[in-house]
Structure 1
């Protein structure tokens, strides 16, 4: 007993020293260490990529905070928005957007419907999967990094140079990832079974690992990686597969198990990368558990409001007349925004949980996710 207690004291002291050193490295002279964020993903963190590349979203998207559509599939802010706010950085502009953009504090390479690996026509019909899959997002980042420094060197202190990151920004920045959901759901919605999808998961995760390696070789050192969400709780899944076995909170159990399988593979892959790259901080963030908590406490945290026939912003026919569906009443007490994306309230709830480090492996808070320099 005495030995166990002594070990606990020593371990706690060691943990305190580690966090103190991490704090000193991440907050030199009391200043935040992340000068920029570079985000990769799909619609859950898309701040305008789809809208810039294809077509603008309609109201009520964006109405809660912005008062207008901003390219976000949400009534307001996304988890990536709460991330930038917590680090005292501006909202990230999409790399796809070429109008009046300041990239000095980072860029967002996401586009809705993006996947980790490119889905071929024999898996998902052409036009339903984004061509901005993760390897292409990485290539865009690589081009951005190289060209931005050419402009800075030749532009000196012109307005163009001031709108782009400094060379040292790339090694000090936080690299965030929120992708993988579409690799599973897009296959499901086009008649692939869970049994057919499972064998592809290791290959999908391997593609993801390769991107982390490439970014590391480009100088990236701080990675914040979200796992995929509880798919079986999505209203879109529940209405598309009504006969699926339900768990205790009426989520579709087989589809949550599919998400858990992907998440387990991802977590193991990141653990291997941490061993391979000891000079990096790679944090696996369990967003699945944070969001699943919302479904286990529906009256406390709100509930979803969804209909295949009446999605917010869409057009429906009522008594022979076409009308646009208005905003879901009081989205602040709802979890689901449109059947597959979450409300600002749900995003805020999840971010508040995961940013503490309590849902992360290693258990590092967001603001300490840099590697000691």
Structure 2
């Protein structure tokens, strides 16, 4: 079974003052966390894109069944059949599911933000849209980048705490999830046909932008990539998993560079308690031993899709007319890009038990959990 290295980062008890280049760690009393603050993309989005789409008239597939069918029994804006890792984290902490920053009417809602706020937006990138436009990669990139999310949190903070001491206490007892962002900086160029060398040149720029906020799964195992880059050359595939070797090698390259940056970050901010998680190997275990995790429906195929070898078709995405599997829990992939609730649960467990976290989570505090 694969060992766990680092591919996603979480800052434990981090007091993040967005207005200042300052990282301060605190140690809250037993109970550990009173709220969750989340930044990211579709892997953490609990409804932001859905509300944004409602306001601008551009519907998102996550606003319709079969999305949400397994747990919520209705679409919630989550890009899965049920809960995400962030939802399992909230449950373990004994906190409500993290409220999306944008309200049901498409504007912001602060009613529940005392227990947490989620600024993650599906499709978000680490680098700003202007960067990609300047590189000649088109003008269709979303405007909810990490920098935008941090700016919104800075604006929101005064409504959550009145004084600097209040803010220090509030943030010191918050679990800040910095991660599940950065993958789209690679996904868009890959699917637009950019070559590997050009995309690899983006890695240091992405890391510079989001040293403390990035994730990278074994993308060579996702149906979207397996479909887009199908090859008759058997040498391009891992004989054990069936995943594309060169794409997973790219993921590993990114992860190695991230680890070096995190080591430097610890040196710069010794008071910040930084815990990071290996999403890559936590997910790779599915593909190496699918039967052990109950994924007997087809480990490389999407549960919901438009047919084809991997049940993924760019022109027939997951929707009410798509071919949906009978049991999503037997699949790791939900729609070819995102995981099923069952897969997210296994990823969460591998983190909660400390097997994929560095350093290992302190089990003396049962309310500590990281994505």
User: TM-score, normalized by length of structure 2?
Assistant: 0.77
Contact 1:230 1:256 in 2 (8 A): yes
Supply the distance in 2 between the matched residues of 1:276 and 1:142 (Cα, whole angstroms): 23
- Whichever of the two has the greater Rg, that structure is 1
Going from structure 1 to structure 2, the CA distance change for 1:238 and 1:138 (only over 3 Å counts) comes to: same
Residue 130 (1) aligns with residue 135 (2): no
Instruction: Tell me which of 210, 231, 247 is aligned to 1:208.
Output: 210
- Residue 326 of structure 1 deviates from its aligned partner by 5.7
* Structure 1 counterpart SS, 2:201: helix
- Residue 171 of structure 1 deviates from its aligned partner by 2.1
Unaligned 5+ segments in structure 2 are 1-25, 54-58, 303-310
Supply the distance in 2 between the matched residues of 1:145 and 1:263 (Cα, whole angstroms): 32
Supply the distance in 2 between the matched residues of 1:35 and 1:293 (Cα, whole angstroms): 32
Structure 1 residue aligned with 2:361: 364
* Structure 2 counterpart SS, 1:174: strand
Contact 1:246 1:252 in 2 (8 A): yes
Could you say which structure has the greater relative contact order, defined with CA pairs below 8 angstroms and 6 or more residues apart? 2
* Structure 2 counterpart SS, 1:104: helix
- Residue 329 of structure 1 deviates from its aligned partner by 1.8
Structure 2 residue aligned with 1:217: none
- Residue 349 of structure 1 deviates from its aligned partner by 0.7
Instruction: Tell me which of 243, 247, 251 is aligned to 1:251.
Output: 243
Instruction: Tell me which of 325, 328, 331 is aligned to 1:331.
Output: 328
- Structure 1 residues 198-207 or 285-294, which shifts more? 198-207
Contact 1:45 1:79 in 2 (8 A): yes
Taking the TM superposition and a 5 Å limit, the aligned residue runs for 1:1-373 are: 28=29, 31-54=30-53, 55-56=59-60, 57-97=63-103, 98=108, 101-119=111-129, 120-121=132-133, 122-127=135-140, 129-149=141-161, 168-176=169-177, 177-209=179-211, 212=212, 227-243=215-231, 245-248=236-239, 249-301=241-293, 302=295, 303=299, 304-305=301-302, 306-308=311-313, 310-313=316-319, 324-325=321-322, 327-365=324-362
* Structure 2 counterpart SS, 1:37: strand
- Residue 205 of structure 1 deviates from its aligned partner by 0.3
Going from structure 1 to structure 2, the CA distance change for 1:169 and 1:227 (only over 3 Å counts) comes to: same
Supply the distance in 1 between the matched residues of 2:351 and 2:115 (Cα, whole angstroms): 22
Going from structure 1 to structure 2, the CA distance change for 1:278 and 1:88 (only over 3 Å counts) comes to: same
* Structure 1 counterpart SS, 2:329: helix
Superposed CA offset, 1:103-144 (max 9, x none) = 1111011101111112422453222x2211011111111111
Superposed CA offset, 1:171-229 (max 9, x none) = 221111211111111110111111111122011101113xx5xxxxxxxxxxxx66311
- Residue 363 of structure 1 deviates from its aligned partner by 2.4
- Structure 1 residues 255-264 or 167-176, which shifts more? 167-176
In angstroms, what is the RMSD of aligned CA positions? 2.4
Going from structure 1 to structure 2, the CA distance change for 1:198 and 1:369 (only over 3 Å counts) comes to: farther
Going from structure 1 to structure 2, the CA distance change for 1:26 and 1:330 (only over 3 Å counts) comes to: farther
Contact 1:116 1:134 in 2 (8 A): yes
Contact 1:267 1:284 in 2 (8 A): no
Structure 1 residue aligned with 2:56: none
Contact 1:229 1:259 in 2 (8 A): yes
Supply the distance in 1 between the matched residues of 2:110 and 2:75 (Cα, whole angstroms): 17
* Structure 2 counterpart SS, 1:38: strand
Going from structure 1 to structure 2, the CA distance change for 1:344 and 1:278 (only over 3 Å counts) comes to: same
Supply the distance in 2 between the matched residues of 1:365 and 1:344 (Cα, whole angstroms): 25
Supply the distance in 2 between the matched residues of 1:140 and 1:337 (Cα, whole angstroms): 30
Which structure is higher in helix share?
1
Supply the distance in 1 between the matched residues of 2:287 and 2:349 (Cα, whole angstroms): 16
Supply the distance in 1 between the matched residues of 2:34 and 2:222 (Cα, whole angstroms): 35
Supply the distance in 1 between the matched residues of 2:214 and 2:209 (Cα, whole angstroms): 16
- Residue 263 of structure 1 deviates from its aligned partner by 1.2
- Residue 356 of structure 1 deviates from its aligned partner by 1.9
Superposed CA offset, 1:245-288 (max 9, x none) = 11121101111111111111112111111111111111121011
Contact 2:92 2:367 in 1 (8 A): no
Contact 1:335 1:346 in 2 (8 A): yes
Going from structure 1 to structure 2, the CA distance change for 1:204 and 1:166 (only over 3 Å counts) comes to: closer
